[in-house]
Amino acid sequence: MHAEVLTDPTLRLVMDSVLSTLMNVVGSVKAIYKYTRDLEYYATRDPLTELFNQRVFWELLTYERLRAQRHGYPFALLLVDVDNFKLINDGYGHGFGDSFLQEFTRAMRGALRVGDIFARYGGDEFAIILPETDLEQARAVAQRMLDAADAMDVEAPDGSRIRGAASIGIGVFPDHADEIRDLFLFADNMMYKAKEEGKNRIGVPTAEDVVTVFQGITQKSVLILKALEEQRVVPFFQPIVDVRTHEVAAYEVLSRIELDGRIVGAGEFVEIAEKIGVIHRLDMLVMERALEEIASQEHQGKVFLNLSPRALVLSEFGRAMTSIVANSGIPPERIVFEITESYNSHSLEQMEFFSRRLRALGLRIAVDDLGSGIASLAHMSRLSPDFFKVDRSLVQDVHRRPYQAALLNALAVFAERMRVGYIVEGIETTQELQTIIDADVPWGQGFIFGEPEPLVFPGAY
């Protein structure tokens, strides 16, 4: 640019406008870059500890299993549960509990080796993948972790000192299991073995443990099959409410079955039901029972149904589902099928096909667990849902995390513009609820409004 151009008032005004525009563009690009970088980071990390989150853990465990199988080496999985953490939380408050978990994370990280994969599985549970590690090496790492926990010295709000303690379970591929779900289940059993033996110790597997654990799985498979044959399926309902008025807008249906005279949650049977190929039968029974009970109570709101992706892709399931909906007498537009984001690309294509079939019948789609993984954005664009539900990981302690509050508010704006229903899951405290309200979130779900229960339909919570 020639200097004399600046002497012309008109040209100078034009140049000032151009430069201002360029500055805004550059600043916007930098802001967008930082936002997307932060979004990607927090979609893969636990916000409290900054460890990998549960979804990334499963992806890395799958990858490590394939790598170990290809190269013919073992690897170990450690599951760690902080001993007596509930007493710490209840006695000193959640704020101190969070600080204690952060200190525990730092202590455990110092005991691990370079290349070990550390994740927070949820609450006070952690998972560690130890590549190229046999049982004795895994035991040595676990002992270092126990020593590191014992060396912790955290000052509580009342001035007392608290040390760390943990129960650790070990599973080794392929010695104890050659499928990742089985390996996780085995290590989980070993962790509970450590707790039963007195806590603050390592559950080291023996040959007898391998037989006992998988015999237990077989026995539970028989019980699940019997429960299905006898139709001992019990749908539970959790309210979805207007966060400002607490009026019930909808109910989510959760699967429960009766085993040995007790009602058990989905976590105890879904994986086994999928493994033995009866998950579609379970889902059909739950859906049929739930819609019957909803209709009998004359509930006029929506009903959200969780269905296994393995069931959804079966053509016979689609036909059965159509018949169940038609026989229920509930208008299709009040029935919403939740689709989680934990599918691979091939399954996502099948989900697109299935979602088109649902819409042709007048039914609705919700993308569940939004925010727990990068794939959620792809699901939002490809499935074009009627609702999305934000994962608990973006809600936990949101009142102390301005970034998460801003993200929830941005999603509220997005939902309003796209005319998509917006639900935040996992609200547990009054502070979280107030932050959710301030972020203009319309609907919420969580223990603060009500736990999953059998048929109970009050008007507000």
pLDDT tens digit string along 267-320? 777 777 776 667 778 888 889 999 998 888 878 889 999 877 666 655 566 677
Between 28 and 420, the more confident residue is 420
Instruction: Kindly state the tokens that stand for 59.
Output: 């992806």
**Long-range pairs of 37-43 with CB within 8 A, sequence gap ≥ 24:** 38/403, 39/407, 40/374, 42/394, 42/403, 42/404, 43/371, 43/372, 43/373, 43/374, 43/376
Question: Does residue 459 or residue 190 have the better pLDDT?
Answer: 190
| Block residue for tokens 């002497």 | 7
Q: How confident is the model at residue 35 (pLDDT cuts 50, 70, 90)?
A: low
Report which of 95, 84, 51, 78 is spatially closest to residue 152, judged by C-alpha positions. 84
- For tokens 């009627």, what's the residue? 386
Query: pLDDT-derived band of residue 119, with 50, 70 and 90 as boundaries?
Result: very high
Whether the predicted pLDDT of 2 surpasses 60: no
pLDDT band at 48 (very low <50, low <70, confident <90, very high): confident
- 8 Å CB contact between 149 and 164: yes
pLDDT at 303: 94
CB 363, CB 337: distance < 8 Å = yes
Each as own residue / partner, the long-range contacts of residues 153-158 (CB below 8 Å, 24 or more positions apart, any chain) are: 154/99, 154/100, 154/103, 156/91, 156/92, 156/96, 157/92, 157/93, 157/96, 158/92
pLDDT at 343: 47
Q: What was the pLDDT predicted at 47?
A: 80
State the Cα angle at 281 between 279 and 286, rounded to 5°.
95
- Determine the Cα–Cα distance for residues 80 and 60; give it in Å rounded to an integer: 17
pLDDT at 263: 85
pLDDT in the model for residue 425: 92
Q: Report how far apart, in Å, the C-alpha atoms of 399 and of each of 234, 391, 423 are.
A: 36, 16, 17
More confident residue, 151 or 401: 151
Task: Indicate the range of 145-159, 213-227, 425-439 predicted with least confidence.
Answer: 213-227
Cβ-based burial of 275 (10 A; exposed 0-12, middle 13-18, buried ≥19): middle
Predicted pLDDT at 460 = 45
String of b and e for 231-257 (b: at least 16 CB within 10 Å)?
ebbbbbbbbbbebeeeebbbbbbbbbb
Q: Tell me the per-residue pLDDT of 190-202, one tens digit each, with 9 for 90 and over.
A: 998 899 899 999 9
* pLDDT (average), residues 146-175: 93
Q: How far apart are CA 22 and CA 29, in angstroms?
A: 10
Q: Using DSSP, state whether 426 is helix, strand or coil.
A: coil
Q: Which residue's entry shows tokens 């028989």?
A: 222
pLDDT for 337 beyond 70: yes
Q: Please tell me which residue, 409 or 105, carries the higher pLDDT value.
A: 105
Query: For 307-311, 336-340, 442-446, 449-453, which range has the lowest pLDDT when averaged over its residues?
Result: 307-311
Q: Mean pLDDT lowest for which of 6-10, 111-115, 145-149, 326-330?
A: 6-10
pLDDT of residue 61: 94
What are the structure tokens assigned to 36, written together? 């997307």
pLDDT tops 60 at residue 335: yes
**Which has the minimum average pLDDT: 25-39, 87-101, 178-192, 359-373?**
25-39
Burial class (CB in 10 A: 0-12, 13-18, 19+), 65: buried
- Reply yes or no on whether the pLDDT at 461 is more than 50: no
| DSSP symbols for 386-410 | SEEEE-GGGTTTGGG-HHHHHHHHH
pLDDT score, position 415: 87
pLDDT per residue over 352-395, tens digit each?
A: 777 777 788 888 988 887 765 544 565 666 778 899 898 887 88
- Secondary structure of residue 176 in the 3-state scheme: coil
Q: Is the pLDDT of residue 443 over 90?
A: yes
Q: What was the pLDDT predicted at 189?
A: 85
| pLDDT-derived band at 186, boundaries 50, 70, 90 | confident
- Decide: helix, strand or coil at residue 201: coil
- Please return the burial class of 400, using the count of CB atoms within 10 Å of its CB with bins 0-12, 13-18 and 19+: middle
CB within 8 Å of 31: residues ≥ 6 apart: none
Q: Higher pLDDT residue, 63 or 224?
A: 63
Q: Which residue has the tokens 């007195």?
A: 198
Instruction: Please name which of 429, 417, 421 lies closest in space to residue 392, comparing C-alpha atoms.
Output: 429
Is the pLDDT score of 247 beyond 80? yes
DSSP classification of residue 453: B
Higher pLDDT, 35 or 145: 145
pLDDT confidence bin for 154, thresholds 50/70/90: very high
Does residue 125 surpass a pLDDT of 60? yes
CB 136 within 8 A of CB 74: no
* Whether the predicted pLDDT of 75 surpasses 90: yes
Percent of the chain with pLDDT over 90: 34
Average per-residue pLDDT in the chain?
82
125 Cβ neighbours under 8 A, 6+ residues apart? 79, 80, 81, 82
- Structural contact between residues 330 and 299, judged by C-beta atoms closer than 8 angstroms: no
